[in-house]
Structure 1
Amino acid sequence: MNTKAEQTKGASAGDIGKLTLAAVILVAVIVAYTWLGNGNVPQPVRLIGLLVGLVVALAIGAFTGPGRRVRNYIAESQFEMRKVVWPTREETIKTTAIIIAVTIVLSLLLGLIDLILKSVILDWLLKLG
């Protein structure tokens, strides 16, 4: 857990302008990709243009207050992921086998209960009336 104090102030006018610019670039790139698809522009050129526009929009958004918070969150998440103790291959295989066996047993049990209830309802209760 991070011991730094959280800042909860809103986005500044500059941040809002940058985010708006990033959104406009993103929409423009998507529209251009779609519009150029009807013409004679090759698919690889359209795709490269889309990727460049996406990178530019993300780069602009990354230098805003919310973008810095996202980068900080990703960095802290990577730090926490280094602390995780992952199971060994043997533990994973054994756990998976147990889960498969329990699933099969429970599905057979539920199927048997369904069959018993079906026979009780259809054969006994409906024939009484």
Structure 2
Amino acid sequence: MNSKVEQPRAASSGDIVKYALALLLVAAGVFAFYWFSEWPSGMRSLAVIGGLLAGAGVFLTSLKGVQTREFLSESRFELRKVVWPTRQEAGRATMMIIIAVTVISLILAAFDFFIQLGVKFLLGT
């Protein structure tokens, strides 16, 4: 858990310009894909990928981009702490889940059957 107390900051005008520029770069890549229909499909796809990469590059220099990078690095750090189950433990857990689901479905089927019998008896059909 992060122990730093941070006050949320509003986006500066420079950040808003960066967001708009990032969106324009992505839109330009998509526009190039459709506008230059005579280009080979590989080149058109590269235009979209280039627009996405350029937009992401501009976004990552903004305040939200810095926060995103910090979040991702903290997530990687936390993932290193996870103790993953062994193959044998995962297999056992899977079998227990399959057995539990089967037993519960049989119990529900029995309830349904007896309720159906009761309703038929009450309706006289």
Ranges in structure 1 where 5+ consecutive residues have no aligned partner? none
Matched, 1:24 2:24: yes
CA distance in 2, matches of 1:120, 1:34: 64
SS at match of 2:83: coil
Gaps of 5+ in 2: none
The alignment status of 1:3 with 2:8, answered yes or no, reads no
The alignment's TM-score, normalised by the length of structure 1, stands at: 0.89
SS in 1 for 2:91: helix
One-letter amino acid matched to 2:96 = I
Distance of 1:31 and 1:40 partners within structure 2: 13
Q: How does 1:6-85 map to 2 (within 5 A)?
A: 6-36=6-36, 39-85=37-83
Identity level (%): 36
Cα gap change, 1:108 to 1:4, in 2 (>3 Å): same
Report the aligned-residue RMSD.
1.5
Number of equivalent positions: 125
Q: d(CA) in 1 for partners of 2:97 and 2:57?
A: 44
